[in-house]
Structure 1
Amino acid sequence: MSRRQHGWTFIEVMVSTAILVLLLVLMAEALNTTQHSWMTSRTAAGTQQNLDAANGIIGRQLQQATLQTRSGYDMNLNQIVPASDLHFVCGPAAELLPGLPGTCGDAVFFQRPAADTGSGLRQALQCCGFFVQYSGDEAWRPVFSNQIPVQRRFRLLQFHQTASEMTLFQSSGVNGTPPKLAQLTSRTDLYEWFSQPIGGGSSSYPSHVSVVAENVVAMFLQTTPAAQRCYDTRRQQWEPGSVTAAQTRHRLPEMVEVTLVLTDEASWARLNVEHADVLAGEVRSFIQGLSWLPDAMPQSLDALKQMMTAQGMSVRIAVFSVPMGD
């Protein structure tokens, strides 16, 4: 019997071990690549799902916005002008919702025809709106989830108020006078029909504020024709005599371009609450320091994306246009 039949030589063991290690390394790299691809696909799918939800809901409801404009007579101008009992306004969320913490970017509020299941009306006006806020998720969590850690995120929120809840047509109490909304000259008072129901807190929202999509960091709105970043169909009440007020008086914009800045869940899940709050504050401050007028929008978006990417955040920017009509 030869010596080789009694066992492996030292060199053979070393070669076999080296081959085995090489195979294990290759398998680990393949597994890591597969896992990374799966995580990337899952993250992209989650971001796309949020974008589809935002695009579908905002686009569909903005297209339904109405003013039901008619002809009216302005005693001060001594001429026929457009008239309406309704309201459309979009602009910086900090101006439209000054008492609400954590808002970011722009907001929009309007009326649209919709069914009111509470009152049984098949076709009634509904107040609607969209804004972005950074906050915890306490307002939308079931009672039994108190032991689950709070998730603080940027969220695209929807305001919806049925005809039976609307205060839009609140009377001034004097017979023969128009609704109170038509007599207001303060922007703060003029916006109370949506700012008061939304409230100033982030953990006690009423039932008419709901989440459209998570990880939407900001929403920016541009209107055609442009109106100094704030398009208000009742601008003539707080800025009488201005050219912009005359152009937008009870007229819907022709087009609204919606820009959404989105991140993914993985970018925030790696942060604890304290770090998430700090980063969110930095993002909000950075956004407030940029110009969001139409001419500066591309440069501002690039700067925001670079800033967030430098912080390790995945960023996606989506733009879509919504044609308006009444």
Structure 2
Amino acid sequence: MDTDAIARAVTATGQAVSEVAMEALAELRRRVQSVVSVTDEVLEPILVALVAGGHCLIEGIPGTGKTLLSRTLARCLDCTFTRIQFTNDLMPSDIVGSSVWRAGEETFEFLPGPLFSNVVLADEVNRTSSRTLSCLLEAMEEGAVSVDGKTMSLGTPFAILATRNPIEFHGTFPIPEAALDRFLVHVELGYPDAASERGLYRARASEASLEQLKPALTREQLVLLQATVPTVQVSEPVAEYAYSIVQETRSDESVALGVSPRAAVSWLVAARARALIHGRDYVLPDDLKALAVPVLSHRVFLKGGGSALRVIEGALERVPVTL
């Protein structure tokens, strides 16, 4: 679907787009949770990132379903999917692709790498070198890569679902602050609750359930939803509320780096996507509050290190909602 067609569809459908979002994404959520034990608090920010056209960093210890969750989402979206297992020796050409010489045709032919896909699982992204990570960051920022002096588009939609193990440090590299900023949302997968885990023991293999899944949202529908997100309205009082939260993070004495203007804009984009998912064409403070931690916590850095969760939650408690 080209840009003009998307624009015409957005103008023509109006409220119908919200109805598609509510129905299709509700079904997608149900299908994902039929395979993976994941709470709405974790799943919704990931869906928000997909609808907003952003990328997601999924953090959790081994065995909590990070990879399975990513594969399940891709299957429910009816999009092309690839998985990249990041290692220390992975080179940029391993993920972008390379040109090979065709002797019979006397020319080079570019063979695209796994980045050329709608949904890319970047498994254990903190295991790769800075050179390969920079290549991934270019793709995340531009939706394109540079090959032999030419810029090549990665297609639409394009989403990176990156995973990271927070407790393993051998053979890993720290992800720079600028790299973390490329992820629209950051979610943490913990152990499932007791009832869900016991149900997991009794259920059939997840792979069998995954193979039987059918797409709940087409590629064209997802592109249309992404194009509709900018049309969701943000009122002046809502913008003022967001600014007050941002200022609170910057004035906290324990904070070395508060929420940047770009991070604040990303927060509003995510809030627009959440409003659309819930069938509204306007943002509420509740949208901002629901996404404050997954969108902002990995963009706030404390002087002594550690999680910024307390800072974000404290700002939400101190700033009143006055509309």
Q: TM-score, normalised by structure 1?
A: 0.25
Q: 1 or 2 for the larger relative contact order (CA 8 Å, sep ≥6)?
A: 2
Q: TM-score, normalised by structure 2?
A: 0.25
| Bigger strand fraction | 1
Choose 1 or 2 for highest CA Rg: 1
| Bigger helix fraction | 2
